[in-house]
Amino acid sequence: MRRFSHSVRITAGKCRGRMACMRACPTEAIRVRRGKASLLEDRCIDCGECVRACPHGAIVAATAHMEDLSRFRYKIALPSPALFGQFPEEIPPEAVLASLLRVGFDEACEPTAACDAVARAVGEYLNKHPGPWPLISPFCPTVVRLVQARYPSLAERLIPIDSPMEIAAREIRERRARQLGLAPHQIGIISLTPCPPQMVAVKYPPRKKSSNIDAVVAISEIFEPALRVLSSTKLAVPAGGLSGTGLGWAVLGGQLEALSAESCLAVGGLDHVERILGDAEDGKLAKVRYLECQACAQGCCGGSLTVENPYVARTRILKLAERCGAPRQPRQFGDGGGFQQTLLLPGKLTARPLAPLDEDISVAISKRTRIAELLHGLPKIDCGACGSPTCRSFAEDVVLGRAVIDDCDVLIARRSRRHLDAAASSKHPATTVGARVRERSP
Partner 1 sequence: MSEQPVFSQCFEIRGRDFANAGRVSTTVKSILKEIGMAPALVRRAAIAAYEAEMNVVLHADRGFLELKVSPGRVQVTVVDQGQGIGDIELAMREGYSTASDEAREMGFGAGMGLPNIRKNADEFEIESDVGRGTRLDFRIRV
List the x/- string, 278-297, binding to partner 1 by CB under 8 A: x--xxxx-------------
Distance in angstroms (rounded) separating the CA atoms of residues 139 and 251:
12
Provide, rounded to whole angstroms, the least separation between the CB of residue 276 and partner 1: 12
Question: Residue 68 has what DSSP assignment?
Answer: G
Distance in angstroms (rounded) separating the CA atoms of residues 325 and 53:
36
439: contact with partner 1 by CB under 8 A: no
On whether the CB atoms of residues 81 and 112 are closer than 8 A, the answer is yes
Between 117 and 146, CB nearer to partner 1? 146
Distance in angstroms (rounded) separating the CA atoms of residues 162 and 325:
24
Give residues with Cβ within 8 angstroms of 56, minimum separation 6: 14, 15, 16, 18
Between 179 and 362, CB nearer to partner 1? 362
Provide, rounded to whole angstroms, the least separation between the CB of residue 354 and partner 1: 8
Segment contacting partner 1 (CB under 8 A): 180-188, 202-210, 313-321, 348-356? 348-356
Find, among 348, 387, 432, the residue nearest to 22 by Cα: 387
Provide, rounded to whole angstroms, the least separation between the CB of residue 148 and partner 1: 12
Provide, rounded to whole angstroms, the least separation between the CB of residue 295 and partner 1: 20
On whether the CB atoms of residues 74 and 187 are closer than 8 A, the answer is yes
Provide, rounded to whole angstroms, the least separation between the CB of residue 353 and partner 1: 8
Q: Give how many residues touch partner 1 by CB under 8 A.
A: 22
Q: Within a 13 Å sphere around the CA of 157, how many CA atoms are in the beta-carbon half?
A: 26
**In the range 8-67, which residues lie near partner 1 by CB under 8 A?**
none
Between 150 and 314, CB nearer to partner 1? 150
318-321 long-range contacts, Cβ below 8 Å, gap at least 24? 318/248, 318/251, 319/89, 320/84, 320/85, 320/92, 320/93, 320/242, 320/244, 320/247, 321/244, 321/245, 321/247, 321/248, 321/254
Binding test (CB under 8 A) with partner 1, winner from 356, 377, 409, 431 = 356
**In the range 108-167, which residues lie near partner 1 by CB under 8 A?**
150, 152-153
Binding test (CB under 8 A) with partner 1, winner from 357, 374, 386, 395 = 357
365: contact with partner 1 by CB under 8 A: yes
Between 359 and 439, CB nearer to partner 1? 359
Residues that bind partner 1 (CB under 8 A): 150, 152-153, 278, 281-284, 353-354, 356-359, 361-362, 364-366, 368-369, 372
